[in-house]
Structure 1
Amino acid sequence: MLVVIGRIGRAHGVRGDVTVDVRTDEPERRFAPGSSVVCGDGTLTVASARPHSGRFIVKFQEVADRTAAEALRGSVLEARIDPDELPDEEDAFYDRQLIGLDAVTEAGAPIGVVTDVVHLPAHDTLAIDASGLEVLVPFVAALVPEVDLDGGRVVVVDVPGLLDPDTAEVSRPEGA
């Protein structure tokens, strides 16, 4: 199984290093020296990697110079993983484990199906298809207190305005 772990950005320096916008919670593991990543129709071998300004600077053995690095800009990087592989941390999930789960309220009422996991700077967000309407729910314990992989569902707390915008509490400026 292939999972996206990053996207190549700009060339960095003249020796073939590239910046990588990381799309994995385990960059040190996925970009460890000697590991292989899939890039388009080929495979690249990580020679070195280090964090730099919110990204990673990666040197691939097959990329000899800046020209070769620039040719890879925008390429998606994927890792081959065992479908049964789980994250090392408890209460951590891979996107592929969450996508397709049924979303229900605490009372068990159906909301919809998780269609995507959006990775934002502050926290991850679940995109849920609720009868054709996309609902975005911050993936935090206060709003998603339970993930039941075996049961195929996530439980979402139904706070005013989260699942139905018409129920949102609106504050009005004084005198309005």
Structure 2
Amino acid sequence: MQLVVARVGRAHGIRGEVTVEVRTDEPELRLAPGAVLATDPASAGPLTIETGRVHSGRLLLRFAGVGDRTAAEALRNTLLIAEIDPDERPEDPDEYYDHQLMDLDVVTVDGAEVGRITEISHLPSQDLFVVERPDGTEVMIPFVEEIVTEIDLAEQRAVIDPPPGLVDGHAEVASARDAAAEDDDAEDDDAGSGAPGAGA
């Protein structure tokens, strides 16, 4: 199975180094010197990593046969692709490869269907599940343990406990419950003013 592990950025210096946007949780394994990577477009590769180093928080790579800035700049925006065993798992049992999470069914802790994971978005602050709902709309689910309570690969599902407002159906239930509670409070206090659930 092929896995995109990085995207080539700008050339760095004059000796063929490039910056890369890392798209793997295991760069020390996937982007180590000696690794041979396929590319997209395919005509740019395969590429063999000759050296790697971190400079100002960015990973810099040099590929065999790429010896100057012009050759390095020609690789800009090329995707680097590693071949991995489909059954391989990350060392950390709480981590997953993107391909393991794709197409998982997403349900809430109370069993309500949310949709299906169609994409994993890797942001600097956190990862997001892009979930396609049955009606074709999409919802973003932060991949954090407070929200994603279980990943069950055997059952091909992700269980979430979304806060009010994250998933529309959940938000509507919460809003209706809040509105009923506010109505009760209004009757108890004989207040009778205010808009329930606004902005929730």
Query: With structure 1 as the length reference, what TM-score do the two structures score?
Result: 0.91
Aligned counterpart in structure 1 of residue 113 of structure 2, from 102, 110, 114: 110
The question of 1:95 aligning with 2:61 is answered no
Q: Any conservation in 2 of the 1:45–1:60 contact (CA below 8 Å)?
A: yes
Which structure carries more helix by proportion? 2
Residue 67 (structure 2) aligned to one of 49, 53, 64? 64
* Per-residue CA distance 1:81-124 (angstroms, 9 max, x = gap): 11111111111001110110000111112111011111111111
Alignment match, 2:18: 18
CA-CA distance at 1:52 after TM superposition: 2.6
**Whole-angstrom distance in 1 between the partners of 2:88 and 2:198:** 44
- Residue matched to 2:83: 80
Deviations 1:38-65 (A, max 9, x none): 1232211111111233431001112121
Mapping of 1:1-176 within 5 angstroms?
A: 1-39=1-39, 40-41=41-42, 42-131=45-134, 132-164=136-168, 167=172, 170=198
Aligned residues of 1:2 and 1:78 also touching (Cα < 8 A): yes
Superposed structure 1 runs of 4+ greater than 4 Å apart: 168-172
Measure, in 1, the Cα distance between the counterparts of 2:66 and 2:102. 34
**1:87 maps to amino acid:** P
- The letter of the residue matching 1:159 is P
Q: Distance in 2 between matches of 1:107 and 1:51?
A: 45
CA RMSD of aligned residues (A): 1.7
Q: Distance in 2 between matches of 1:72 and 1:170?
A: 50
**Would you tell me which structure has more strand in proportion to its own residues?**
1
Mapped contact 1:38–1:79 kept (Cα < 8 A): yes
- Structure 1, unmatched stretches of 5+, are none
Give me the identity figure in percent: 49
> Structure 2: how far apart are the matches of 1:60 and 1:141?
37
8 Å contact kept, 1:22–1:55: no
